[in-house]
Amino acid sequence: MKPDSTTSVGKFRRIVYRTLTAVCAAALTAGLAGCGNSTAGTVTLDFFQFKAEAADWFTAKAKEFEKTHPNIKVNVNNSSDATTDLRTRLVKNREPDVITINGDINFGMLAEAGVFHDFTDDDIVDELNPGMVNIAKSLVQTNDKSKKRLYGLPYAGNASGYIINADVWEQAGEDPDNPPQTWSEFIDLLQRFKSKGIVPIEASTADSWTLQAPLASLNSTLVPESEYLSLKDGSKKFSDLWGTVSDQLVEIYQNYTQKNPAVTYQQATQDLAAGKAAILPLGTYAIPQIRLINSDANLRFAQMPATDNAEEQQLTAGDDVILTMGAHTKHEKEAREFIDFLMNDENIKDYSKRQSAFTPYKDTYVGDEALNGVLDFYRAGKLADFCDHYVPASINLAGFLQTLIQSGNTEKFLNGMQSEYDKIEARNFR
């Protein structure tokens, strides 16, 4: 995922903590003033919505909800810069009632600061996909495992691995429905494509953020999420966690991409849609873009294996959308009614179809047949979060990765990451 390089973890936390008391006080005062009146007349919910691609969908659903709940009005605020806008709202004591937010480090910091409602003991949790729940809990930015609670409901999942042009595979005599299960098998496949004059991997290094996708895809199997606590407490370093994946990325990008790998994300999706490569190492989010280019594209999606033990493979997955409410909302009853409406099975599946997403319930459904190949990972809960969610956004991870694959210097990459991480941790105080 593309990071927001302007975010400072320490500064962000200090802002949240300075304003949290004021938010609580404002909410309490307003709550006392309106005691017994929240359902008298019309209640207006402030719905903060971050996902630009789904803005029209959420707005339409809010209108649909209002028709069956005439005493509730939903004011939808679609934000183009969600992290900054939400931070500004907190500073100004304007905590939203209902919120969608990406499951990343920014969500984790706000959750740890007490901004969101705690759903941990809610009955709905028993119905949710355990892997997606664990991802949301793991993101909470604390070393105290007892405080890693569920501060939002997973609404839609995504995954990182690689997109297959099935026609190219079949023309090369490969089976797109049976992709490699181990790292060695994966490399052997790339070699076979290369020997037949087929570009194995379509790179898009002109948009360096795309390099974070294969990093995350491989690391889910290589590095358990709990290891990032060891990175945070200083007992382990990037050289301990990312040594293997650094070598793997160099091998892939220096041997199996097109002659000019410095193309944009948009160009890469066009090239895969046109059959110019066998594999695009990105996430499920790229599939709708490819379908816009070629609606008839014959696609599959696969997990990227990182070791030679097929049984230990994990799918890199994220809670692309987390649905929550403000911890201090004056309208908890009405906010929960709206959340329950959005969480009903019909709406969840409709969103999944339109956004090529995974649904959050135990019997996971996916809205695009191309993703069926990794559905078993979701249903088995063999999921791990994107590793870049544990890296402060102010570190230019994409830039470091770009230098790594160009130079092949893994030691410089690992030492550089560690140096930047240590600087941020040294500033990270409340």
| pLDDT above 70 as % of the chain | 90
* Averaged pLDDT of the chain: 91
The 10s digit of each residue's pLDDT in 165-189 is 999 999 999 999 999 999 999 999 9
What pLDDT does 429 receive? Answer: 54
Pull the structure tokens for residue 267: 């160009």
Same CATH fold assignment for domains 9-158+319-372 and 160-315+390-427? yes
On whether the CB atoms of residues 101 and 322 are closer than 8 A, the answer is: yes
pLDDT top residue among 345 and 22: 345
Q: Compute the distance between CA of residue 392 and CA of residue 388 in angstroms, rounded to an integer.
A: 8
Domain residue ranges in the chain: 9-158+319-372, 160-315+390-427
Q: Compute the distance between CA of residue 129 and CA of residue 30 in angstroms, rounded to an integer.
A: 36
DSSP state of 393: T
On whether the CB atoms of residues 320 and 158 are closer than 8 A, the answer is: yes
Q: Compute the distance between CA of residue 427 and CA of residue 218 in angstroms, rounded to an integer.
A: 30
- pLDDT higher than threshold 90 for residue 261: yes
- pLDDT higher than threshold 80 for residue 7: no
Pull the structure tokens for residue 343: 């969480």
Alpha-carbon distances of 83 from 146, 158, 206, rounded to whole Å: 26, 20, 25
| pLDDT above 90 as % of the chain | 79
- CATH code given to domain 9-158+319-372: 3.40.190.10
- pLDDT higher than threshold 60 for residue 24: no
pLDDT top residue among 201 and 379: 201
On whether the CB atoms of residues 291 and 297 are closer than 8 A, the answer is: yes
Pull the structure tokens for residue 127: 């119905």
- Residues for the chain: how many in total? 430
Q: Tell me, yes or no, if the pTM score tops 0.75.
A: yes
Handedness of CA 389, 124, 48, 98 (dihedral sign): negative
- In CATH, what is the architecture of 160-315+390-427? 3-Layer(aba) Sandwich (3.40)
Alpha-carbon distances of 400 from 6, 240, 258, 408, 428, rounded to whole Å: 16, 17, 21, 11, 22
Q: Compute the distance between CA of residue 107 and CA of residue 128 in angstroms, rounded to an integer.
A: 19
Q: What three-state secondary structure class fits 375?
A: helix
Q: How confident is the model at residue 5 (pLDDT cuts 50, 70, 90)?
A: very low
